[in-house]
Amino acid sequence: MMDIKQAILLLDNIDEQLIKDFIENEWVKPLTKQGTYYFDDIDLARITLINDLLSNMQVNSESVDIILSLLDQVYGLREQFRKVTKAIEKQPRSIQAEIFSILHETQG
Amino acid sequence: MAQNNPYSILGIDKNASDKEIKSAYRRLSKRHHPDLNPGSKEAGTKFKEINKAYQILSNPEKRARYDRGEINMEGEPEYKPSGGFYRDYADKAEASRYFHENTGHFDTSDIQNIFSSFFTGGTAGNHAGFKKQPSDVYYNITIDFMESVSGERKRVTMPDGKVLDIKIPAGVEDGQRLRLKGQGAHGSINSESGDAYINIHITPHKIFTRKARDIFVEVPVGFNESLLGSKITVPTIHGPVEVTIPKNSSTGDTLRLKNKGIKNGDQYIKIKIVMPNNISESLMQSVVEWDKASHFNPREKMEAMV
């Protein structure tokens, strides 16, 4: 956990205003306590990604909304998929084999 | 080596302008950014290479030194965002505050909905697959059109090695699901066996098509046969049948053969007039004369409709 000043020291080419804009757009959601923002590593990585989109890839800010929404869905689905995989791992071998056989068939 | 050549990495030639370099970099980094390709390990390496290449080529001094052979890509720092890539965190529990917001809150019933929408396929959604006994098994088999029409008994070895005797009912439809009671997996969860569900896929026939119990077929008829009227032999799913083509039939005219479909269905024959490729001089001459004398306008109806 770090505040915005510490976060800026770790980020290249990103200033305080930019981070505040990201937060205002609800692209980044740091923990907020009594009006002060606290950032995790994931927030820094997300800020870097958004900055990559806007500067290196020249994506406009409307498109950032769409991209983040789709990305969040992809990562959300990946989490669901991991849960399902865990549930399958807990099944007896015979059930696992049935599931894989069906998956194999439906991929054809 | 091609891999270490920044030009080939960005897919541009040695004389590329700054603008071309920039646009190649943008295009490739969008495609290969690791955070936009969460499942691909390759994207990570590729993206780093693209960035190294761009660091050299976007800097005129470095580019000139590379062109003179003074430096290579080895010395370039790797692209590594401070804090790491987003995907390194997004796949962990702490990311949930981001994705739950947009994905809607997932709970197990959502997972069940996803599964049942996959499992029930095109058939009615009223019996969700997920809620069936866990030891039910699902198979797919493909049969040809004629087998689906007449129905038959089939012994089939499934991909998991299970041998099933399947009675395919006459007139089974594509996508229909058969249930074989007690033929599912032996209960490791329940003591009794589950059922086997078989999804039927039917390969289309070359000439017959089907709508419910009726069979449709298009039959080529010579212009002479249609002009004079004639008896021709037409295939049906029950074997060849002799059919009378009435005088003056046209393409698109449809004849019905009662009870020649599936069960009590009918077969419909659509006539398609075909011209011969050898017409004699004298016949040609007659047609020319007829054409002059007659006022036949085959598009009369159509013209009235425009």
DSSP B1-61: -GGG-HHHHHT--TT--HHHHHHHHHHHHHHH-GGG-TT-HHHHHHHHHHHHHHHHHTSHH
Residue B249 has a pLDDT of 92
| E strand segments, chain B | 137-144, 152-157, 163-168, 177-180, 196-203, 209-211, 214-222, 230-234, 241-245, 254-257, 267-274
Higher pLDDT, A42 or B81: A42
Instruction: Kindly state whether residues A42 and A7 are assigned to the same domain.
Output: yes
Averaged pLDDT of chain A: 87
What span, in angstroms and rounded, lies between the C-alpha atoms of A105 and A100?
8
Contact B160 A44 (CB under 8 A): no
Instruction: Kindly state whether residues A33 and A53 are assigned to the same domain.
Output: yes
Q: By the CB < 8 Å criterion, does B91 face chain A?
A: yes
Contact A75 B99 (CB under 8 A): yes
- In CATH terms, are B2-90 and B127-203 the same topology? no
Which architecture, in CATH terms, is B127-203?
Sandwich (2.60)
Give this prediction's pTM. Answer: 0.46
Q: Which residues of A touch B196 (CB under 8 A)?
A: none
Higher pLDDT, B115 or A82: A82
Residue B112 has a pLDDT of 54
Q: Which residues of A touch B38 (CB under 8 A)?
A: 74-75, 78
User: Which residues have CB under 8 Å from B51's CB, separation 6+?
Assistant: B29, B78, B79
Instruction: Kindly state whether residues A46 and A86 are assigned to the same domain.
Output: no
Contact B140 A106 (CB under 8 A): yes
Mutate to test the interface with A, among B89, B109, B133 (most CBs of A within 10 A): B89
B133 → chain A, closest CA residue: A95
Contact A29 B89 (CB under 8 A): no
Instruction: Kindly state whether residues A77 and A38 are assigned to the same domain.
Output: no
Give the residue from A88, A52, A45, A70 showing the smallest Cα distance to B84: A45
Beta bridge partners of B209: B216
Per-residue DSSP letter, B7:
H
CATH superfamily placement of domain B2-90: DnaJ domain (1.10.287.110)
Number of domains in chain A: 2
Give the residue from B293, B79, B157, B82 showing the smallest Cα distance to A7: B82
Residue A33 host element (H or E) = strand A31-33
Residue B123 has a pLDDT of 35
So where are chain B's domains?
2-90, 127-203, 209-293
Q: Which residues in chain B show pLDDT less than 70?
A: 1-3, 82-83, 93, 99-135, 186-192
pLDDT band at A37 (very low <50, low <70, confident <90, very high): very high
Q: How many CB atoms lie within 10 A of CB A64?
A: 18
Residue linked to tokens 């003074």: B70
Instruction: Kindly state whether residues A25 and A47 are assigned to the same domain.
Output: yes
Residue A43 has a pLDDT of 92
What span, in angstroms and rounded, lies between the C-alpha atoms of B112 and B132?
11
Contact B185 A69 (CB under 8 A): no
Instruction: Kindly state whether residues A17 and A49 are assigned to the same domain.
Output: yes
Residue B108 has a pLDDT of 53
Cβ neighbourhood burial of B135 (10 Å; 0-12, 13-18, 19+): buried
Q: Which residues of A touch B132 (CB under 8 A)?
A: none
Instruction: Kindly state whether residues A49 and A71 are assigned to the same domain.
Output: no
A104 → chain B, closest CA residue: B159
Question: Each residue of B63-83: pLDDT tens digit?
Answer: 999 998 888 888 777 777 766
Instruction: Kindly state whether residues A35 and A69 are assigned to the same domain.
Output: no
The answer to whether B7 and B14 have CB atoms below 8 angstroms apart is yes
Determine the structural domain holding residue A71 and report its residue range.
61-108
Instruction: Kindly state whether residues A48 and A89 are assigned to the same domain.
Output: no
What span, in angstroms and rounded, lies between the C-alpha atoms of B230 and B244?
6
Across the interface, of B94, B135, B185, the residue whose CB is closest to A40 is: B94
Give the residue from A47, A55, A35 showing the smallest Cα distance to A9: A47
Q: Please state which CATH number belongs to domain B209-293.
A: 2.60.260.20
B23 → chain A, closest CA residue: A57
The mean pLDDT of A70-79, rounded to a whole number, is 86
Residue B25 has a pLDDT of 92
Q: Collapsing DSSP states into helix, strand and coil, what is residue B237?
A: coil
Q: By the CB < 8 Å criterion, does B81 face chain A?
A: yes
Residue B110 has a pLDDT of 54
Minimal Cα–Cα distance from A62 to chain B, Å?
A: 16
Q: By the CB < 8 Å criterion, does B75 face chain A?
A: no
Contact B185 A98 (CB under 8 A): yes
With an 8 Å Cβ cutoff, the interface of chain A facing chain B consists of 10-12, 29, 40-42, 44-46, 48-49, 52, 56-59, 67-69, 71-80, 82-84, 92, 94-95, 97-98, 101-102, 104-106
CB pairs under 8 A between A and B: 122
